[in-house]
Structure 1
Amino acid sequence: MKTVVIIPARYASSRYPGKPLATLRLPDGSHKPLIQLSWEAASQIKGVDAIYVATDDSRIAEAARGFGAAVVMTSESCENGTARCADALARLGAAPELVINFQGDAPLTPPWFVEDLISAMRADANIGMATPVLRCDRQTYDNLTEDRRNGRVGGTTAVFDKDMRALYFSKEVLPFIDAGKLPDPIPVFHHVGIYAYRPEALRAYTATPVSQLETLEGLEQLRFLYNGTAVRCVEVQARGRVFWELNNPSDIPRIEAALESL
């Protein structure tokens, strides 16, 4: 087993309880839960040997098994998706070369985002962890700034150095740009919440304490940066596709509209 995709899913979210089971309307008028749409998106990725939904909730597990997903029951103490992936990997007893953390709230994720990530990891054995970033178009940038103006947590942005090593991730829109000086192309990169880890990097994560930055931002990848682990950012291309995660109930119409165009 070389590459394993794990989709962490929890019911008890403070911002959106029960989010994995939120239903979305499809173009044909039918409805599916968010976790199923995300699993179906992950199923389109080439070069993957197995896909698992990792959860501590029986309701999510029952729904996932109902649409044919393999499920790994994990501890209730997993504080985030990375910790849940590490727990799932330990319970599986597998020894893959790569572990992909595929977000359960991102059904619009194109398969090539993950395929590009896998290619980058396989091309450089020194990369312990990598994550995709997507340059914002005007619509995405406007969505991000509108969310912040209205006090909502929207997407995450990434800032990186010339060698594509992450400098910081934030739920603020970084870098700051004066409203009257917006460059073209826009130098803001939307962080796509997917991670590729080598198993040893994933195990090391759970062995280190939570950092203050991670707690304040609510972003697990900041623990890697705080402890000096390099995170490689891999720029991916939208190819005309709209990408947005389901962070708040208000995102449902956005995602349903984007599903119409797939």
Structure 2
Amino acid sequence: MSVLIVIPARFASVRYPGKALAPLCGATGQEKTLIRRSWDAALAVGGVDRVVIATDDDRIRAEAAGFGADVVMTSPDCRNGTERCAEALDALGGDHDIIVNLQGDAPLTPPWFVEDLIAALKAHPTAEMATPVLRCDGRSLAGFQEDRRAGRVGGTTAVFGADGKALYFSKEVIPYTADKDWQDDNLTPIFHHVGVYAYRPSALAAYARWAPGPLEELEGLEQLRFLERDHPVHCVEVDARGRAFWELNNPEDVARIEAILKDLDIE
């Protein structure tokens, strides 16, 4: 099966304008832009036939071309990464069986997260789309709670049924845990939604035709459009293998991500 990774990237991020071009310092002191680090993360994934960056901004296009990336220009009217992936697939001719949306703000995504996601979609031929979830330990849950106390919107959490089908995604910390005091290394019942999606081409085509629903607009979460249209989202639990994970959502996340890059000895 042919697998395409699309990295959707825009300049006009609401919470952090221009973050795709934000420099991130690695373990050796070398700075690379967020989009470059996201590209490197995509190239580390095995079993992929092609990787492209999809953007509507000439500054991002120029930066991506500078490090040799394959770039597809898309419309500024795309409301989220899924719509941008759908448009990129159309521009490329649609000749792929699985399309992965590796969002351009997740440079710490381990390759096995994406590989496990692709494997899950291949193993479930009736599934239209899938996304990874990572069980939080006490330390990562504390990061979520710190963001909420500070009035920042950080990562997204997910709840799902026994069959793995998503019940809901939220930028709040769900489910409610009665303010239990979790130790740093203890596992919690909270699942961090990892911002990666794998779709069938038919799911992407349908998504692009649908208008956003009220839950998507309230939460600002693109995957809720599938749930609001009664199209299941398959959650795939992944194992961090002791590796820290976080996305760049706010300017305050830069220091957190740079610290993880150094801990992981990523240049």
TM class by shorter chain equals: over 0.9
Q: What SS class does the counterpart of residue 259 from structure 1 fall into? A: helix
What secondary structure is seen at the aligned counterpart in 2 of 1:188?
strand
Note if contact 2:99-2:198 (Cα within 8 Å) is conserved in structure 1: yes
One-letter amino acid of the counterpart of residue 14, structure 2: S
Judged with a 3 Å threshold, the aligned counterparts in structure 2 of structure 1 residues 159 and 46 are, in CA distance, closer, same or farther, namely same
Matched, 1:232 2:234: yes
Contact 2:74 2:84 survives alignment (8 Å): yes
Per-residue CA distance 1:37-75 (angstroms, 9 max, x = gap): 010011000000000000000000000010110000000
| Bigger mean CA offset, 174-183 vs 7-16 | 174-183
TM-score (norm 2): 0.96
Provide the residue aligned with 1:222 in structure 2: 224
CA distance in 1, matches of 2:180, 2:89: 48
Q: Give ranges in structure 2 of 5+ residues lacking alignment.
A: none
Shift of 1:33: 0.4
Secondary structure in 2 aligned to 1:120?
helix
Q: Please, what TM-score do these two structures have when normalized by structure 1?
A: 0.98
Task: Evaluate the alpha carbon distance shift between residue 150 and residue 122 of structure 1 in structure 2; reply closer, same or farther with a 3 A threshold.
Answer: same
Q: In the alignment, residue 192 of structure 1 is paired with which amino acid?
A: V
Q: How does 1:21-40 map to 2 (within 5 A)?
A: 21-40=21-40
RMSD: 1.1
Match of 2:129 in 1: 129
- How many residues are treated as equivalent by the alignment? 262
Q: Output the CA distance in 1 between the equivalents of 2:13 and 2:6.
A: 18
Match of 2:188 in 1: 186
CA distances 1:126-167 after superposition (whole Å, capped 9, x unpaired): 010000000001111000011001100000000000101000
Letter in 1 for 2:172: E
- 1:113–1:98 distance in 2 versus 1, CA, 3 Å: same
Counterpart residue identity of residue 140, structure 1: S
CA distance in 1, matches of 2:182, 2:11: 39
The answer (yes or no) to whether the contact 2:138–2:187 under 8 Å persists in 1 is no
Identity %: 59
- Alignment gaps of 5+ in structure 1: none
Q: What amino acid maps onto 1:25 in structure 2?
A: C
* Distance change >3 Å, CA 49–CA 176, structure 1 → 2: same
